[in-house]
């Protein structure tokens, strides 16, 4: 089953078209990585998929049903009310800079939304949150505040916070780019463990080895279009000038 | 006049000063938040009106504003004033004035919040209202507390401006006694009163600040 489908997405900032007619889909349990040079529109694409940005063309489907689209006259349609809530419940997003709530403890960061938004019973949510924290290797941190944690720990809390809402699909926007190299490993390990649980994920990353290792499919974006798409080895070993240039730059760093 | 009699009269004034202080905060703190919403509104007309209100409140003397609120209804509508309206006018005048200052403080706090906090809340499914009251506002309070403390301390001293409406608070009474008895002592008592009052306010606000220091 397709969890997410994006068809002919266009996104314009002022007069600059940043996403030109991109289509992609993600099946249940699939891991899709998006790579590409800076400014190619990777974040914008994720922000469109998570409704943080409004599309200027195309349609977005979650669970096979339209979640946002544009009419032939160019008008964009974003459902409101109960349907909007339902759509929001399908996805989670992990930000580059975590965006934890600094005034909430680790536990409260994770449990507040399930209790307040999903109105689930407190005991059950807490029990699940403790299990998540254990999975993240943060069992001893439930009463800590974000300011007392390292960047890697913060990002793991952010992942736990997203997972606590049981999304059908989890988006990551460069989850390790704000981290020191030593801390990157621990976060990548956690994401890898999610892959082993067959959680559907879309990951924007500059960690090429990681992307190659974890992904079922890779999209190489360049200047707002999908320049190349396929299995990791197909993309990484492709005889394609732009990706060779791009990967070449990486290997030199 | 015996010192004890004088103190008794002055203490009546103290209670009234305290009343002005507390009621002004009770009304102006929430009102200021509403005003700041208007100030940040996307509606240009509302925004302009609020901007005008704020600059009027900040650009003219509070004493003059009190006089306008008090005498305005009489000159404009021929309403009878005096009696309990004196006190109402004081509370209205102070609240309107302080709300303008608090509104700008709230605005600076709200605008300083990183957009990521809104986006994270949005993704987690918080509604706009839930996001504001659960995520944004508590952090704003911490950020603006020092600025609020400044205003609150100014308010303690500003309560003395009520003398312009001959309302019998601390300063008005001190002035009356000083004139009638040709003595300087009531002013000394008044000075001690305002100073101690502010000391208590400062300690109170510091305690709150410390309480909020559990996170950065
Ligand atoms: N809010 C915005 N307003 C105007 N232009 C924007 C906005 N957000 C992004 N852009 C522009 O859109 C283009 C794509 O940006 P985007 O952040 O999606 O790139 P990216 O692929 O995520 O890059 P990076 O690898 O550096 O994160 C850039 O040219 C950027 O300047
Ligand atoms: Mg980006």
Residue B195 neighbours by CB under 8 Å, 6+ apart: none
Each residue's pLDDT tens digit, A133-180: 999 999 999 999 999 999 999 999 999 999 999 999 999 999 999 899
- The DSSP line for A77-114 is E---HHHHHHHHHHEEEE-TT----TTS-HHHHHHHHH
Residue ID of nearest Cα to ligand 1 atom 10? A13
Task: Choose among B119, B125, B142: nearest Cβ to A113.
Answer: B125
CB A163 within 8 A of CB A135: no
- As a residue count, chain A comes to 253
Residue ID of nearest Cα to ligand 1 atom 9? A44
pLDDT at B82: 73
Question: Is the CB–ligand 1 distance for residue A41 below 6 Å?
Answer: yes
Q: Is residue A79 part of a domain?
A: yes
Pairing of strands A201-204, A217-222: unpaired
Q: Is residue A243 part of a domain?
A: yes
Chain B positions touching chain A (beta carbons under 8 Å): 114, 116-117, 119-126, 130, 134-135, 138-139, 142, 214-216
- With 90 as the cut, is the pLDDT of residue B80 above it? no
- Ligand 1 centroid – CA A11 distance (Å): 11
Task: Choose among B119, B134, B214: nearest Cβ to A52.
Answer: B119
Each residue's pLDDT tens digit, A27-42: 999 999 999 999 999 9
Neighbours of A199 (CB within 10 A): 18
Residue ID of nearest Cα to ligand 1 atom 22? A43
Q: Do A165 and B215 lie within an 8 Å CB cutoff?
A: no
- Ligand 1 centroid – CA A48 distance (Å): 12
Q: How many Cα atoms sit within 13 Å of A64 on the Cβ side?
A: 3
Paired with A19 in beta bridges are A11
d(CA B24, CA B30): 10
Tell me chain B's radius of gyration from C-alpha atoms. Answer: 20
Token pair 């700008």 is found at: B104
> Can you give B102-155 as a three-state secondary structure string?
HHHHHHHHHHCCCHHHHHHHHHHCCCHHHHHHHHHHHHHHHHHHHHHHHHHHHH
- With 60 as the cut, is the pLDDT of residue A253 above it? no
Q: How many domains does chain A have?
A: 1
Question: Is the CB–ligand 1 distance for residue A44 below 6 Å?
Answer: yes
Look at A81-95, A217-231, B168-182 and tell me which has the smallest mean pLDDT. Answer: B168-182
- Mapping DSSP to helix (H, G, I), strand (E, B) and coil, where does residue A68 land? strand
Ligand 1 atom closest to the CA of A41, numbered from 1? 18
Residue ID of nearest Cα to ligand 1 atom 2? A13
- With 70 as the cut, is the pLDDT of residue A23 above it? yes
Q: Do B134 and A112 lie within an 8 Å CB cutoff?
A: yes
Q: Do B124 and A103 lie within an 8 Å CB cutoff?
A: no
Closest-approach residue (CA) in chain A for B216: A147
- Ligand 1 centroid – CA A20 distance (Å): 13
Pairing of strands A57-62, A31-35: unpaired
Look at A237-246, B23-32, B57-66 and tell me which has the smallest mean pLDDT. Answer: A237-246
Higher pLDDT, B49 or A241: B49
pLDDT at A244: 87
Could you give the residue ranges of the DSSP H alpha helices within chain A? 42-49, 81-90, 106-116, 122-135, 151-163, 181-196, 208-214, 232-236, 241-252
Distance, in angstroms, between A165 CA and closest chain B CA? 8
Q: Can you give the residue ranges of every domain in chain B?
A: 3-214
CB B174 within 8 A of CB B189: yes
Closest-approach residue (CA) in chain B for A89: B125
pLDDT at B2: 82
- Mapping DSSP to helix (H, G, I), strand (E, B) and coil, where does residue A31 land? strand
Q: Is residue A73 part of a domain?
A: yes
Neighbours of B202 (CB within 10 A): 14
Region at A4 (left for phi over 0; alpha for psi -120 to 50; beta for the rest): beta
d(CA B5, CA B185): 13
Tokens of B22: 């507390």
Q: Which fold has domain B3-214?
A: MetI-like fold (1.10.3720)
Most confident range (mean pLDDT) of A179-183, B92-96, B183-187 is: B92-96
DSSP A14: T
Each residue's pLDDT tens digit, A50-94: 999 999 999 999 999 999 999 999 899 999 999 999 999 999 999
pLDDT at A241: 85
Task: Choose among A50, A99, A118: nearest Cβ to B116.
Answer: A99
**pTM for the predicted model, two decimal places:** 0.92
Question: Is the CB–ligand 1 distance for residue A13 below 6 Å?
Answer: yes
Instruction: Tell me how far CA of residue B52 lies from CA of A81, B99, B110, B205, in angstroms.
Output: 36, 13, 20, 31
ipTM for the predicted complex comes to 0.94
Each residue's pLDDT tens digit, B92-103: 999 999 999 999
d(CA A47, CA A36): 16
Tell me chain A's radius of gyration from C-alpha atoms. Answer: 18
**Shortest-distance ligand to the CA of residue A42:** 1
Q: Is residue A253 part of a domain?
A: no
Q: Which domain holds residue A19?
A: 2-247
Count chain A–chain B contacts defined by CB atoms under 8 A.
57
Residue A187: which pLDDT band, with cuts at 50, 70 and 90? very high
Residue A133 neighbours by CB under 8 Å, 6+ apart: A106, A107, A110, A139, A141, A142, A160
**Shortest-distance ligand to the CA of residue A35:** 1
Q: Do B215 and A147 lie within an 8 Å CB cutoff?
A: yes
Q: Assign residue A113 the CATH number of its domain.
A: 3.40.50.300
């Amino acid at each position: 089953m397709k969890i997410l489908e994006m068809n002919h997405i266009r996104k314009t900032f002022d007069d600059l078209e940043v996403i030109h007619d991109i289509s992609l889909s993600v099946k249940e349990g699939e891991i899709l990585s998006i790579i590409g040079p800076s400014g190619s529109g990777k974040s914008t694409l994720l922000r469109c998929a998570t409704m943080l940005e409004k599309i200027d063309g195309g349609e977005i489907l979650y669970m096979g049903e339209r979640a946002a689209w544009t009419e032939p006259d160019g008008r964009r349609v974003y459902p409101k009310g109960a349907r909007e809530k339902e759509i929001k419940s399908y996805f989670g997003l992990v930000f580059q800079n975590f965006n934890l709530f600094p005034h909430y403890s680790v536990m409260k960061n994770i449990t507040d939304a399930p209790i307040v938004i999903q109105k689930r019973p407190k005991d059950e949510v807490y029990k699940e949150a403790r299990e998540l924290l254990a999975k993240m290797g943060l069992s001893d941190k439930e009463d800590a505040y974000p300011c007392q944690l390292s960047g890697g720990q913060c990002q793991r809390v952010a992942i736990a916070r997203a997972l606590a809402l049981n999304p059908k699909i989890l988006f990551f926007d460069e989850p390790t780019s704000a981290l020191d190299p030593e801390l990157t490993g621990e976060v990548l390990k956690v994401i890898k463990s999610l892959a082993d649980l067959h959680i559907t994920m879309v990951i924007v990353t500059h960690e090429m080895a990681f992307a190659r290792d974890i992904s079922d499919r890779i999209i190489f974006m360049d200047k707002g279009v999908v320049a190349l798409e396929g299995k990791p080895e197909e993309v990484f070993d492709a005889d394609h000038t732009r990706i060779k240039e791009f990967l070449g730059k990486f290997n030199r760093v | 006049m015996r010192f004890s009699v004088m103190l008794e009269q002055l203490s009546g004034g103290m209670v009234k000063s305290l009343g002005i202080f507390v009621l002004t905060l009770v009304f102006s703190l929430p009102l200021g938040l509403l005003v700041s919403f208007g100030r940040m509104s996307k509606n240009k007309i509302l925004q302009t009106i609020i901007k005008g209100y704020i600059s009027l409140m900040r650009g003219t003397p509070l004493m003059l504003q009190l006089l306008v609120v008090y005498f305005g209804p009489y000159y404009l509508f021929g309403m009878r004033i005096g009696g309990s309206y004196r006190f109402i006018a004081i509370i209205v005048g102070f609240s309107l004035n302080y709300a303008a200052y608090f509104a700008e403080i709230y605005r600076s706090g709200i605008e300083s919040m990183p957009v990521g906090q809104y986006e994270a809340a949005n993704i987690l499914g918080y509604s706009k209202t839930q996001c504001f009251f659960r995520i944004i506002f508590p952090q704003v309070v911490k950020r603006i507390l020092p600025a609020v403390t400044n205003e609150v301390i100014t308010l303690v001293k500003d309560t003395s401006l009520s003398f312009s409406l001959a309302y019998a608070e601390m300063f008005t009474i001190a002035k009356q006694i000083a004139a009638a008895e040709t003595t300087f002592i009531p002013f000394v008592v008044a000075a001690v009163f305002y100073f101690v009052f502010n000391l208590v306010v400062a300690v109170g606000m510091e305690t709150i600040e410390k309480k909020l220091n559990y996170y950065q």
